[in-house]
Structure 1
Amino acid sequence: MDVLVVGRGGREHSIVKKLKTNTNIVNLYVAPGNGGIANDASCVEIDEMDIDNLCEFAKQNGVDFTIVGPENPLNAGIVNEFHKEGLAIFAPTKEAALLEGSKSFAKDFMKKYEIPTAAYGVFTDVNEAKKMVKQQGAPIVIKADGLAAGKGVIVAMTEEEAYQAIDDMLVDKTFSNAGATVVIEEYLEGKEFSLMAFVHENHVYPMLAARDHKRAFDHDQGPNTGGMGAFAPVPDLSKEDYDFTFERILQKTADGMIEEGRPFTGILYAGLMMTKEGPKVIEFNTRFGDPETQVVLPLLKNDLLQVMQDVLAKKDPQLTWYDEACVGVVLASQGYPNDYEKGHRIPEFNPQQKDFVIHAGAKLNDENLVSDGGRVLLVGSRADTIEKASANVYHQLEKTAINTDSFFYRKDIAVTKTRT
């Protein structure tokens, strides 16, 4: 078979590495890919938002199966176009992808189908939004309604921070149209975790739970990012809470989307908070999470392509997992998630045994890999325990010559004590 992966980041590199183990795949294409992915697949110079040319490439090159990584082409209707051409693709339609594309839609959907989530309000008027903040007090969460590359969420610890976030979104248009509507939510306390599932209509097959770290700096300090590291599975998540999340959140969501006339196919991701009342949804994504994918897929024993084909055929893929843990730590450009420079030489790693490196913001420049994004790469490891996997990752990072003027990483991912 010939397979196409759409996207350019770490999530897509992780998908590619998993697909590479399938000997039945003759040609593995990635559009547009990145400099690191080019070592594992054939990169095609087509932007992930150039849907017409992606469709044409798939037809001209006899692509048998397409997997979509990022959210923007999903909300632009890439699946709808591929379906029109009779092309096999594993991802949600534009109508189903709205579950991620609009936070207000997602919140109203959860309210309708009694899926546990934070209390909320939806606003386009600055004064009305600030009135809710004044009534609720801080801490409080301000979200841009639309897609904002993982950066449109402000956890305001003071009312002043909340007012500033509202002004940034509704007045200064920091997130353009994505912030033309804001969702204001109660602040949920507890530990975050994520649960992804392979879905086709009402058939839902959950993966291992993972936990990522959104804040830029150690001890969960600094601004929110797209994710600075992750680990799986989540040892403090009980079987009861896992089952509740599967049955009362993921399954109910799949069933509800059918009721809404928006049947879901693809990867359904629930970002969750374990509160005193149980798991509650923070957000839905309609694709593989990043960086959770990088620590979940290495633990999957099954062939990824076969799983997706089975799910589309409404056949139980019988997911099986390694009895191990996986930890990943992101190396980011100094300044991320705010302004940062590109073009810095990426350090070379020498991964051992079950260690691995996943490239995200990387491009080739005169045969050298240089930084081309905020999150540059992820160093990961599989081991018997989370502690061993974390130690392996930090061993790799500490023994590698990293220019700290150019890059930084958190030193407390999946460790109980901050490393020095």
Structure 2
Amino acid sequence: MRILVIGSGAREHALLLALSKDESVNELHVAPGGDGMSDLAVCHPEWQGAAIDVEDGAQITALAQALEADLVVVGPEIPLVAGVGDALREAGIAVFGPSKAAAMIEGSKAFAKDVMQAAGVATATATRIESADHIESVLDNYGPHYVIKDDGLAGGKGVVVTTHRAEAEAHARSVIAAGNPVLVESFLDGPEVSLFCFVDGETVVPLLPAQDHKRAFDHDEGPNTGGMGAYAPLPWLPEDATERIVREVCEPVAREMVARDCPYSGLLYAGLAWGADGPAVVEFNCRFGDPETQAVLALLKTPLAEVLAATAEGRLAQLPPLQWHEGAAVTVVLAAEGYPAVPRRGDVIHGLGAVDYRGESYVLHAGTKRNDSGEFEAAGGRVLNAVARGSDIEQARAKAYELIESLELAGGHYRSDIAAKAQQGEISI
């Protein structure tokens, strides 16, 4: 199988690694990719003299046709919401990733709320604001916890959760000033859970639940980021939690999407709060989450390519159950100085040796490039991921932190408490 992956971050690096271990795959390509992925796939930073634009369906389709790709796997949400999947399907190319219409489950939080209401799925109450004139009156109906969301794509950084009304109001005004509506939501109590599901129409196959750490600094302090680390599975969840989420959340949404004539095909990511009454949806995403993917795929034993192809080709229901490694996996993000505000680029990363992907700990590249001396340097906010698998969370954490502590990046920072609460049994529901 010849596969083209779209994207350039650590999520795509993790996908390439998992695909490279599948014996049915004989050729891997990635566009635009990155220098840190070139040992797994042929990178295509440009096509026919033009830089790759992941939102350009015609360009991506032409590249896939030239490569004679059997399957295209779209990593980020932006090309999916832009309709790149539709362009590929119209050309007869198998695509892992939803249509433009179905991707609105992430592209518009208001659309997602409407789907959930129709499907009878538990979620926060919400009010949509399109004019700054209405902000104060709407906020009067919420609190003491305010949840203010950009009703569009914000890469995980468009949400402010605060007990300070002035901060909530300021974020709402900034979102509207930028041209997007605002969603004000009630606060959902309970620890957060990320559950990825392969979805093919009404067929839903869950992966392992994971938990992301969004805040920039230890103890969940600082601004929201795209994610500073993650772990899987979640030892504190009830044994029937995944089954409940599929039954109460993902399957009803899948059925509702079919009823709306925009059936879902691809990866549906449910972000949930697990409260006293069980799961309630915080938001949906239309793709693999970053950095949870890095931890979840480290535990997957089932060859990935066949599952992605079966989903794309409408035969997911025919596959046997997914198989998993025992134990746990942890990923820790090394971020550049200034992230998530204005990350500093160009600093050289020291300590990167030859990568042995056969081991239980390894580095994935999120935002790097090689300089003229052949050294890797920071080229984005989230720079590297240290990923490790162990017999339990304690061992996986130890391996991940041993690895990340061996790296040096001037001004770089990472959280020291990824999965610590789970290891110490401090999360309770």
TM-score category, normalised to shorter length: over 0.9
Question: For residues 192-211 of structure 1, what are the structure 2 equivalents within 5 Å?
Answer: 192-211=192-211
Match of 1:313 in 2: 315
Give the CA deviation at 1:109.
1.4
Q: Which moved more, 1:198-207 or 1:22-31?
A: 22-31
Match of 1:247 in 2: 247
Match of 2:297 in 1: 297
Give the CA deviation at 1:244.
1.2
Match of 2:137 in 1: 131
Give the CA deviation at 1:313.
1.9
Query: Which of 389, 411, 420 does residue 406 from structure 1 map onto?
Result: 411
1:112 and 1:122 mapped to 2: Cα distance?
17
Is contact 2:75-2:288 (8 Å) kept?
A: yes
1:151 and 1:401 mapped to 2: Cα distance?
26
Give the CA deviation at 1:94.
0.2
Q: Which runs of 5+ in 2 are unaligned?
A: 46-51, 425-429
The aligned amino acid for 2:333 is V
Give the CA deviation at 1:401.
4.5
Matched, 1:347 2:353: no
Q: Which runs of 5+ in 1 are unaligned?
A: none
Question: For residues 386-405 of structure 1, what are the structure 2 equivalents within 5 Å?
Answer: 386-398=393-405, 400-403=406-409, 405=410
Give the CA deviation at 1:123.
0.9
Q: Which moved more, 1:219-228 or 1:60-69?
A: 60-69
Number of residue pairs matched? 410
Is contact 2:213-2:230 (8 Å) kept?
A: yes
The aligned amino acid for 1:313 is R
1:410 and 1:324 mapped to 2: Cα distance?
22
Matched, 1:383 2:390: yes
Match of 1:168 in 2: 174
Aligned to 1:246, what secondary structure does the other structure show?
helix
Match of 2:76 in 1: 70
Matched, 1:362 2:368: yes
Q: Which moved more, 1:284-293 or 1:137-146?
A: 137-146
2:395 and 2:61 mapped to 1: Cα distance?
44
Is contact 1:142-1:184 (8 Å) kept?
A: yes
Matched, 1:214 2:214: yes
Is contact 1:349-1:396 (8 Å) kept?
A: no
Q: Which moved more, 1:71-80 or 1:362-371?
A: 362-371
2:276 and 2:344 mapped to 1: Cα distance?
42
1:211 and 1:278 mapped to 2: Cα distance?
16
Aligned to 1:336, what secondary structure does the other structure show?
coil
Is contact 1:130-1:166 (8 Å) kept?
A: no
Question: For residues 90-105 of structure 1, what are the structure 2 equivalents within 5 Å?
Answer: 90-105=96-111
2:375 and 2:54 mapped to 1: Cα distance?
24
Q: Which moved more, 1:269-278 or 1:22-31?
A: 22-31
2:4 and 2:128 mapped to 1: Cα distance?
38
TM-score, normalised relative to structure 1: 0.95
Cα deviations across residues 224-259 of structure 1 (Å, max 9, x unaligned)? 001000000011111232221111101111111001
2:216 and 2:339 mapped to 1: Cα distance?
8
Give the CA deviation at 1:24.
3.1
Query: Which of 106, 112, 134 does residue 118 from structure 2 map onto?
Result: 112
Is contact 2:94-2:309 (8 Å) kept?
A: no
Matched, 1:121 2:127: yes
Identity %: 40
Aligned to 1:135, what secondary structure does the other structure show?
coil
Match of 2:34 in 1: 34
Matched, 1:331 2:334: yes
Match of 1:262 in 2: 262
Is contact 2:144-2:163 (8 Å) kept?
A: yes
**Alpha-carbon distance change, 343 to 317 in structure 1, aligned in 2, over 3 angstroms:** farther
Runs of at least 4 residues of structure 1 off by over 6 A?
none
Is contact 1:310-1:317 (8 Å) kept?
A: no
Give the CA deviation at 1:370.
1.0
